[in-house]
Amino acid sequence: MKNKLIHKINKKSAVIGIFGLGYIGLPLAIRFAEVGFKVLGFDIDKGKVKKLMNGESYIDYIKPLKIKKLLKNFEAKSDFSCSSDVDALILCVPTPLKKNKKPDLSFVTNTMSMLLPYMRKGQLLSLESTTYPGTTEEELLPRIEKKGLKVGKDFFLTYSPEREDPGNLNYKTKTIPKILGGHTRNCLEIGRELYGSSIDQIISVSSTKVAEMTKLLENIHRAVNIGLINEMKIVADKMNIDIYEVINAASTKPFGFTPYYPGPGLGGHCIPIDPFYLTWKAKQIGIDTRFIKIAGIVNTSMPRWVISKSEKILETYGKSLKGLKVLVLGIAFKKNVQDTRESPGIELMRLLKKKGAKISYSDPHVPIFPKMREYNFNLSSINLTSQSIKSYDLLLIATDHTKFDYSLIQKNAKLIIDTRGVYLNKFRNVVKA
């Protein structure tokens, strides 16, 4: 079985199945199709399937021309029964948190339930979703073996965490080194052949657990350091010190220092969520991850700190948030993308509304406020002109998109609260928060 599957991969006759066609799955599907594989993309969202088959893109940095070229070797489907035609099944589904901050693996387990009836000998299953160490062995392996498939002999299982950075044009799927762990040596060998056919560098590790922990370390490293710099910002602000000047000065040290930058909180599908996957798993084995939890507390508190700072700034002008016309600039979780998941900008909108402010937003990447479970704003993006900017009492920069005309904003705004350090120079109407 192993040699047969490797032969198919080497000959590009293997069919690749990507399950979940979002920010992770779609770029991966494009990459496999680019090198000549036939790719089947599966998603329960029929709207996504329809758009792809019409040559349309729903991710703003993936142009429609790329999708049209993709269609030569690609077909999108919502019918999972076709997965029996696939040689490599790659799961790129969400792994969010429940309200109690416990891991929610329902997307993974539900996908497995849909796939199991169609799994057969000679296939490889690879999980890419970020999760706690042990998920591949504890959740996927038993389901596969219950079907009567012997993993490592007639079926193969790997874990290879996604490392996409949406909107980052310097790194592409092809050039980002790929971590890979296999359940057995045969699983690892086949995984290397598959991913090595399309990605420049494969980093093999000794087990799926190591690969799962590697992904968590990468994101927790960022969460902790961002928590540190956010706390430093609060201290510096109290001491009337510009934290951005401090960071720039510290960055001149050629060793031992990596710059991180503060903000109004953390967003996206990784950094605000992934640490809780490890803290939950650690608790199962009797370990309290205090350091990670403290960073989470600091980062989660940042939107409230920004609002508190804003209220203090407004007091000096004899104003309050109640009844104030506020325009939030940027509701995507990071610059130059359209993804609003866990966005601190949206949390700021909620807090501003709670304080009685009349809120609007402007985001060139998010023209209509998306449907979200926890937030319900019937709003569309405001076009920034001299006149529209002047109509607001306060502009709050939450996401520093490149498309914003910051000179136009500064010249026409009555007051700007800058949470991203956009304005390094001092202006009469700009206050950093």
What is the rounded distance in angstroms from the CA atom of residue 303 to the CA atom of residue 307? Answer: 6
In sequence order, what are the residues at sequence separation of 6 or more whose Cβ sits closer than 8 angstroms to the Cβ of residue 200?
A: 174, 175, 177
Distance CA 93, CA 111 (A): 8
**How far apart, in whole angstroms, are the C-alpha atoms of residue 209 and residue 158?**
10
Say which residue the tokens 């591949």 belong to. Answer: 136
Query: Based on C-alpha coordinates, what's the Rg of the chain?
Result: 24
Of 42, 26, 33, the closest CA to residue 12 belongs to 33
Beta bridge partners of 421: none
Place of tokens 């910051």: 406
Q: Buried (b) or exposed (e) across 196-229, using 16+ Cβ within 10 A?
A: ebbbeebeebebbbebbbbbbebbbebbbebbbb
Q: What are the two backbone dihedrals, phi and then psi, of residue 142, each rounded to the nearest 5 degrees? A: -60, -35
End-to-end CA distance of the chain: 59
Burial of 275 (0-12, 13-18, 19+ CB in 10 A): buried
- Sole residue written with tokens 């090198």: 35
Contacts of 265 (CB under 8 A, 6+ apart): 299, 300, 302, 303, 306, 344, 347
In terms of C-beta density within 10 A (0-12 exposed, 13-18 middle, 19 or more buried), how is residue 256 classed? exposed
- Return the residue matching tokens 């079907």: 147
Bridge partners of 124? 88, 156
187 carries an active-site annotation: no
The residues, ordered by sequence, that sit 6+ positions from 229 with a Cβ below 8 Å of its Cβ are 243, 247, 260, 261, 262
Residue type, 130: T
CA atoms within a 13 Å half-sphere pointing along the CA-CB vector of 83: 29
Under 8 Å between Cβ of 248 and 229: no
**Catalytic positions, written as ranges:** 270
